[in-house]
Amino acid sequence: MRRLEGGLATLEAASVTIAELQETLAAKNIVIAEKKIIVEKIIFDISEKSKIANEKAKAAGIKKADLSVQSAEIGKAKAEATEELKAAAPALAAAKLALEMIQPKDITEIKALANPPDAVKSAITLAFYYYVRDSND
């Protein structure tokens, strides 16, 4: 009988311990469920932000490709402009030299014309703008 009473006491103690553990487990399950909800929200936020970041990265890649094309076009245009400038340099030097050779009597002669030809008007206008620009430098 003692043995049975000892076994019964052990079963009762185990039953009490199991009840306590079940209460602890139930409380921890509540905490776990709350934390699970929080974690799911965080995962959702991260996935949404990842989608946005991927879209922005894709847009940035496209923009980078466009800028590379534009940069190449700009480089080509710059090279062409530089070549044209080099080609125009002798003509500009000749024009400067010709401008320096103008004498006051030449201007008096042009003033005397009542209605100078268009070519003369264009030449005087260009000389004026060159002179004004050159004197401002």
pLDDT at residue 136 in the model? 58
pLDDT at residue 76 in the model? 96
pLDDT at residue 40 in the model? 96
pLDDT at residue 130 in the model? 73
- How many structural domains is the chain composed of? 2
Distance, in Å, from the CA atom of 21 to the CA atom of 14, rounded to the nearest integer, reads: 10
In a domain? residue 96: no
pLDDT at residue 43 in the model? 96
pLDDT at residue 31 in the model? 95
**CA gyration radius, the chain:** 47
Enclosing domain of residue 51: 2-88
User: pLDDT by residue for the chain (137 residues), tens digit each?
Assistant: 777 777 788 889 999 999 999 999 999 999 999 999 999 999 999 999 999 999 999 999 999 999 999 999 999 999 999 999 999 999 888 878 887 888 888 888 888 888 888 988 888 888 788 777 655 55
pLDDT at residue 67 in the model? 96
Distance, in Å, from the CA atom of 91 to the CA atom of 11, rounded to the nearest integer, reads: 114
In a domain? residue 11: yes
2 half-sphere exposure, CB direction, 13 A CA radius = 0
In a domain? residue 93: no
Residues 84 and 131 in one domain: no
Distance, in Å, from the CA atom of 12 to the CA atom of 49, rounded to the nearest integer, reads: 54
Helix H or strand E encompassing 127? helix 118-136
Residues 109 and 82 in one domain: no
